[in-house]
């Protein structure tokens, strides 16, 4: 699968004529001095471009798949005859322009239709949404948490035959990678990828998780910098917590978890860890470290890519979650992610209604 990249106002010119079979194009310009330069190409990237010349009837759409090929500053590589066009013989002076095409528009239209933000907009009727942000009707109120279905919007009111998506579909989420056993030591000569867990080999032996993308083939960033996130136990005893966006303290908004568990990604440990799940208040402060699941032994996990349910009997709503290790695994790694699912509900009382907007009864 190819991943598309875009640039504005990019135009280059053929230095040498090409036939229908040529895929190496030599340009009159140094690519690094054109609008193509900001695009960092790696494997599987491409850009659409249109070839045209006054002496040739019609046009040809190509995919640019490589820039500055083999270190030659004016050489690019392309896939010919895309989007139903045919590869042609093109003369010197042919223009190669990165501009919108029908295929690009179809792709973007499809992405928008199924995009989470698109869904948010589609149900963002002002009468049904509580807003705490200048954008008013499309605010993600709890980023990095309950992201599918249950989170995009807080439903305030609707009509009897309408149930907007955010009140009817369970939201789900997962923590960053965490280590419940013995993390491997960090190696500065190794390239790490999202999901990697390492330990600083020097005191205090802090554990880090690689959670965002890193350039393929690039050297690992210095430990604790760049893409690394610290996942060592905090002052409250937790190794991961999730809750409301900073500054959000709606007395009506609650998350009702239907299931909380752990998915093991890598397993070489010789003993079993035990973990707990507690709750946070709206300010992110700990209410309890063990109120939702206390010292659960992960005995049913005996290999990688296995899942265990920590609890599915929670009856109350919470404002946030905190995960902790009671007993760490020994003898090797026990790496994975905590996950949760449930409904995000706003009970819609007068106390929780923002004064900046009309109240639930529609009065001024």
Q: Residues 102-123: pLDDT tens digits?
A: 888 877 765 544 333 333 322 2
Mind giving me the DSSP string for 52-100?
A: E-TTSSS-EEEEEEEESGGG-TTEEEEEEEETT-----B-TT-EEEE--
Same domain assignment for residues 100 and 148:
no
- pTM for this prediction: 0.55
Name the residue with higher pLDDT: 249 or 50. 50
State the Cα–Cα distance between residues 239 and 248, nearest whole angstrom: 23
* Burial degree of 180 (CB within 10 A; 0-12, 13-18, 19+): buried
The structure tokens listed for 293 are 């699941």
Please tell me the predicted confidence (pLDDT) of residue 324: 95
Q: What is the mean pLDDT of the chain?
A: 77
Number of domains in the chain: 2
Confidence of residue 260 (pLDDT cuts 50, 70, 90): very high
Least reliable range by pLDDT among 51-65, 83-97, 152-166, 282-296? 152-166
pLDDT for the residue 89: 97
CA distance 262 to 182: 17
Based on the domain organization, do 161 and 92 belong to the same domain?
A: no
pLDDT in tens, 283-299: 888 999 999 999 999 99
85 shares its domain with 33: yes
- State whether 101 and 120 are in the same domain: no
**Helix or strand holding residue 323 (H, E):** strand 320-327
pLDDT at 334: 96
Same domain, yes or no: 326 and 220: yes
Domain boundary among the residues 76, 107, 138 is at 107
Within 10 angstroms of residue 84's Cβ, the number of other Cβ atoms is 8
The pLDDT value given to residue 61: 95
Domain co-membership, 244 together with 129: yes
Residue after which a domain boundary falls, among 85, 107, 129: 107
Which whole number is the average pLDDT over 219-240?
A: 82
Write down the number of H helices and E strands in the chain: 3, 19
Q: Which domain holds residue 31?
A: 3-107
The average pLDDT across 84-102 equals 94
Could you give the CA distance from residue 27 to residue 9 in angstroms, rounded to a whole number?
17
Q: Do 232 and 320 lie in a common domain? A: yes
């Amino acid at each position: 699968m190819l991943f598309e990249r875009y640039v504005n106002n990019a135009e280059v010119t053929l230095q040498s004529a090409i036939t229908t079979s040529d895929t190496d194009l030599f340009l009159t310009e140094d690519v690094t001095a054109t609008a193509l330069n900001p695009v960092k190409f790696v494997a599987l990237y491409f850009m659409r471009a249109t070839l045209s010349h006054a002496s040739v009837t019609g046009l040809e759409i190509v995919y640019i798949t490589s820039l500055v090929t083999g270190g030659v500053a004016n050489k690019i590589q392309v896939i010919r005859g895309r989007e139903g066009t045919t590869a042609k013989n093109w003369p010197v002076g042919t223009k190669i322009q990165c501009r919108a095409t029908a295929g690009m528009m179809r792709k973007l239209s499809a992405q928008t239709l199924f995009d989470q933000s698109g869904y948010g907009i589609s149900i963002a009727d002002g009468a049904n949404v509580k807003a705490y942000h200048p954008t008013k009707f499309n605010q993600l109120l709890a980023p990095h948490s309950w992201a599918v279905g249950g989170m995009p919007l807080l439903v305030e009111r609707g009509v009897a035959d309408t149930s907007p998506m955010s009140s009817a579909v369970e939201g789900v989420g997962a923590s960053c990678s965490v280590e419940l056993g013995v993390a491997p030591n960090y190696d500065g000569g190794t390239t790490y990828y999202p999901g990697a867990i390492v330990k600083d080999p020097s005191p205090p032996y802090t554990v880090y998780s690689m959670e965002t993308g890193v350039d393929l083939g690039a050297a690992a960033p210095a430990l604790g910098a760049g893409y690394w996130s610290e996942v060592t136990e905090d002052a409250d005893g937790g190794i991961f917590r999730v809750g409301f966006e900073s500054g959000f303290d709606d007395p009506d908004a609650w998350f009702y978890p239907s299931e909380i568990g752990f998915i093991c990604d890598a397993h070489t440990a010789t003993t079993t860890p035990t973990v707990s799940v507690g709750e946070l208040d709206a300010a992110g402060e700990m209410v309890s470290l063990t109120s939702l699941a206390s010292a659960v032994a992960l005995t049913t996990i005996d290999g990688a890519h296995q899942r265990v349910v920590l609890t599915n009997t929670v009856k109350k709503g919470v404002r946030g979650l905190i995960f902790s290790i009671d007993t760490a695994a020994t003898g090797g790694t026990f790496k994975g992610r905590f996950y949760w699912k449930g409904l995000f509900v706003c009970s819609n009382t007068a106390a929780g209604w923002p004064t900046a907007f009309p109240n639930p009864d529609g009065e001024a």
